[in-house]
Chain A
Amino acid sequence: MAGYPARAPARAARRRTAHAAATAAHYAGLGALAIVTAFPFLWLLATSLRATGSVFGFPPVLIPRPATLANFAGVWQTMPIGRFALNTVYITGMGIALTLLTSALAGYPLARMRFPGRDVIFYAIVGSLMLPQHVGLILNFVTMMRLHLVDTYAAVYLPGVASVFGIFLLRQAYLVIPQEIEDAAHIDGAGELRLWAQVMLPLVAPALATLAIVEFTAYWNSFLWPLIVLKSPDRYPLAVGLLYLSGLFAHNTRYIAAGAVLMTLPVIVVFVALQRYFLRGITLGAVK
């Protein structure tokens, strides 16, 4: 909070009133926008707790009376939601861990070493964002088959592990580390790997946290690729399960809402818990 310098008392009083009005206006505006972005989730939650009716109908029901957990129980009985959740947690966990490791490794030389081909490699990595990934769905499946990975968890997370965004973000984070720190470590005689692991890595922790959150949502929410590469329903993640549910229970929007809540709640909890790190990490890592 920036302090406001003291001024003449009369002006200060007038300023305070104006200031209070401005603050109120700000909050009104912020609140209105927050309603637009967050309200649909509350409505989803309300629907999932309703005993009867559906999402349709005027006026919309926001506080279900009576509230019930029956829809969650129903979804739980119809689908192995617990199994799906475990699958999702595993896929997401492995995906994040490997993405963080790969990005932290790759970003380092790109930011702080001189070697032949560095710029070419960097541009190739960033440029790959623009390349057509369409038939990738099929060709990646063929690759997975040749690696004998079809219908395994690894097949779900491996294609996402080399993250262009992650490498870019980490490179930016390494770039802003002062040269003196590196020089001092070199004088101590640290090898490259030790220098990276013991000196550099802790300094980019905020960027890693940011990346973890971004990747968390990406892995948690992905549905098209897992749908194709996984065969056995007992390996499905939640997003695929929900898609299944929405086809199976088109007539029961309360079930679908309950499934959607089960799928979304963990992401929201994780995000709210980590949002402080998130913003700080982006700040440090972003465009400098």
Chain B
Amino acid sequence: MRRSLIAAAIALLVGAGAAAAAPQTSIEFWTISLQPFFTAYVQRLIDTYERAHPGVRVRWIDVQPQAIDQKLLAAIAGGVAPDVVNLNTEGTIRMAEVHALVDMDAAVPAAARGRYFPNIWASTRLDGRAYGIPWYVVPDVLAYNRALFRRAGLDPARPPATEDAFVRAAVAIKQRTGAYGFMPNVDNIRMLKRFQEDGLPILSADRKRAVFDSPAHVALLARYVALYKEGMFPDDTLRRGYLGATERYAAGQLAMLVTGPQFLLRVRSDSPGVYQDTLVAPAPLGRAHVLDLPTMDLAVPLASRHRREAVEFALFVTNDENQLAFSHLVVIFPSTRKAAADPYFTRAGTNPEDRARVIAARELGIARDLSVVVPHSDELFRIFREAVESAFYGRMTPQRALAWAAGEWNTRLR
């Protein structure tokens, strides 16, 4: 009796949010880090939409990537959830796991769904349902510093095309110039993607077993561990990931950076010296010749009081015309087929951004979203991260680390 009372009290407390009938529908739209660079673009989208839908007002809020989880959670708990929210694949899956998001396979008519690349649309699928409308995709490219290349005796006209060549170039640069050649993407759980780029699977076909402890997996991890022990990449690689890499590249202390091309825009304005020496090439490929395709999605929380309008607005933001316009501002790629077919993406240019755009457009064909979708993702990823870091910092051998993590995964996946 008492227990149900407490439950009722808590439910009452947190499930509140008095719905006041507004004369006009107002929807709240959250984006990640689009201010200040794209304020004008988003504002124009909203103005256009509001003119076409006089009954709807859009309130736009831009959120920092570091804070979006906490803010979204607090907003949903507080009964003031946003109506349309920008999330990456992992974020979408995490929220979908707790049944917080609208099922887009059901909410979006088939005709509208057909406008998107099917593989991109499928990237937010959990148990067969998709929970996000794909917005834009940001494939990685290789930015490199030609001055450091020359100092190391490498030919800037022939950047490394494969992961193996990438590592060899990095080692040569470090040994010959003292500057770091690369900061591999092995922090946190990004090793899961590295495995897949080399064609190494993460899960068994029935998704009930972790299979990342094979000798091939171990060899790949061991290779990076050895490079780290030899001082071939800096100590904050695992701690700070791409933010740390960006910082070093812009300081001229890192020769090669695999990153989203939007980064170039900022280097141009803030570090003109480094920008002048920057060349762009396709991201080095692993043995499987696939490339990760990080996607930004628009999701609608179930807690939204205007789901229909929210889905409609999300479809508007991601339509061909608006995505194409966005792609003209920065090197990103549309998630819709028609927009991506625009000649704009194949016209070669001379400055690094234009080159990056053409290169990245070519890469789209070999890219897919390599995010790993598993239940209890928080716990499994925590374990994986611990295993990888233990291997790098010498707490376990790579073989023991991966075997341990796979074992822990298996007890939880069953």
Does chain A touch chain B in the assembled complex, meaning CB atoms less than 8 Å apart?
A: yes
Using a CB–CB distance below 8 Å, which chain A residues touch chain B? 52-54, 56-57, 74, 78-79, 137-138, 141-142, 144-146, 150, 227-229, 231-233, 243-244, 247-253, 255
> A53 touching B78 by the CB < 8 A rule?
no
The 7 residue pairs across chains A and B that have the minimum distance between CB atoms: A251-B250, A145-B78, A54-B251, A250-B243, A252-B270, A251-B246, A141-B74
Interface string of B61-89 (1 = CB under 8 A from A): 11011110011011101111000000000
> B270 touching A228 by the CB < 8 A rule?
no
A142 to B14: give the CA distance in the assembly, Å.
7
Q: Which residues on the A side are within 8 Å of B16 (C-beta)?
A: 142, 145-146
Give the shortest distance, in Å, between B386 (CB) and chain A (any CB): 23
Q: Which residues on the A side are within 8 Å of B77 (C-beta)?
A: 138, 141-142
Q: Which of the residues B61, B73, B78, B243 comes within 8 Å of A144, measured between beta carbons?
A: B78
> A247 touching B65 by the CB < 8 A rule?
yes
Chain B residue nearest in CB terms to A145: B78
Q: Which residues on the B side are within 8 Å of A57 (C-beta)?
A: 251, 253
Q: Which residues on the A side are within 8 Å of B327 (C-beta)?
A: none
> B273 touching A247 by the CB < 8 A rule?
no
Chain B residue nearest in CB terms to A78: B36
Given A227-B71, A247-B243, A251-B251, 8 extra CB contacts under 8 A: A57-B251, A142-B78, A145-B17, A227-B67, A228-B70, A231-B71, A247-B64, A250-B243
Give the shortest distance, in Å, between A247 (CB) and chain B (any CB): 6
Chain B residue nearest in CB terms to A244: B64
Q: A228-B71, A231-B61, A248-B33 are in contact. Are A150 and B78 (CB under 8 A)?
A: yes
Query: B249 at interface (Cβ–Cβ under 8 A)?
Result: yes
Q: Which of the residues B14, B78, B251, B271 comes within 8 Å of A56, measured between beta carbons?
A: B251
Q: List 27 A-B contacts (CB under 8 A).
A: A78-B36, A138-B77, A141-B74, A142-B13, A142-B14, A142-B79, A145-B80, A146-B16, A227-B67, A227-B70, A227-B71, A228-B70, A228-B71, A229-B74, A231-B71, A231-B75, A232-B61, A233-B61, A233-B62, A243-B66, A247-B33, A249-B270, A250-B244, A250-B247, A251-B249, A251-B263, A252-B270
Query: B35 at interface (Cβ–Cβ under 8 A)?
Result: yes
Give the shortest distance, in Å, between B182 (CB) and chain A (any CB): 16
Q: Which of the residues B64, B248, B266 comes within 8 Å of A243, measured between beta carbons?
A: B64
Q: Which residues on the A side are within 8 Å of B263 (C-beta)?
A: 251
B interface size (C-beta, 8 A): 37
User: 8 Å CB contacts to A: which residues of B75-112?
Assistant: 75, 77-80
Interface string of B8-50 (1 = CB under 8 A from A): 0000011011000000000000000101100000000000000
**Interface of chain B: mostly helix, strand, loop or mixed:** helix
Chain B residue nearest in CB terms to A137: B74
Interface string of B253-277 (1 = CB under 8 A from A): 1000000000100110011010000
> A251 touching B74 by the CB < 8 A rule?
no
A53 to B271: give the CA distance in the assembly, Å.
8
Q: Which residues on the A side are within 8 Å of B79 (C-beta)?
A: 142, 145
Q: Which residues on the A side are within 8 Å of B67 (C-beta)?
A: 227-228, 243
**Interface of chain A: mostly helix, strand, loop or mixed:** helix
A231 to B14: give the CA distance in the assembly, Å.
19
Give the shortest distance, in Å, between B38 (CB) and chain A (any CB): 12
A203 to B291: give the CA distance in the assembly, Å.
71
Q: Which residues on the A side are within 8 Å of B267 (C-beta)?
A: 251
Interface string of B232-243 (1 = CB under 8 A from A): 000000000001
> B247 touching A255 by the CB < 8 A rule?
no
> A233 touching B66 by the CB < 8 A rule?
no
Give the shortest distance, in Å, between A53 (CB) and chain B (any CB): 7
A137 to B273: give the CA distance in the assembly, Å.
44
Chain B residue nearest in CB terms to A229: B74
A57 to B65: give the CA distance in the assembly, Å.
29
> A249 touching B33 by the CB < 8 A rule?
no
Q: Which residues on the A side are within 8 Å of B270 (C-beta)?
A: 74, 249, 251-252, 255
Q: Which residues on the B side are within 8 Å of A247 (C-beta)?
A: 33, 64-66, 243
Give the shortest distance, in Å, between B69 (CB) and chain A (any CB): 11
Q: Which of the residues B35, B65, B70, B250 comes within 8 Å of A54, measured between beta carbons?
A: B250
> A53 touching B251 by the CB < 8 A rule?
yes
A52 to B275: give the CA distance in the assembly, Å.
13
A57 to B251: give the CA distance in the assembly, Å.
9
> A150 touching B80 by the CB < 8 A rule?
yes
- Of A54, A228, A251, chain B has the most CB atoms within 10 Å of the CB of A251
Q: Which of the residues A142, A144, A250 comes within 8 Å of B246, measured between beta carbons?
A: A250
Q: Which residues on the B side are within 8 Å of A53 (C-beta)?
A: 251
> A253 touching B78 by the CB < 8 A rule?
no
A150 to B62: give the CA distance in the assembly, Å.
16
Q: A145-B17, A233-B62 are in contact. Are A253 and B71 (CB under 8 A)?
A: no
Chain B residue nearest in CB terms to A223: B67
- Of B61, B80, B273, chain A has the most CB atoms within 10 Å of the CB of B80
Q: Which residues on the B side are within 8 Å of A232 (C-beta)?
A: 61
Chain B residue nearest in CB terms to A236: B64
Q: Which residues on the A side are within 8 Å of B62 (C-beta)?
A: 233
Q: Which residues on the A side are within 8 Å of B33 (C-beta)?
A: 247-248
A229 to B75: give the CA distance in the assembly, Å.
9
Q: Which residues on the B side are within 8 Å of A229 (C-beta)?
A: 74
Q: Which residues on the A side are within 8 Å of B64 (C-beta)?
A: 227, 243-244, 247
Q: Which residues on the A side are within 8 Å of B71 (C-beta)?
A: 227-228, 231
A141 to B70: give the CA distance in the assembly, Å.
11
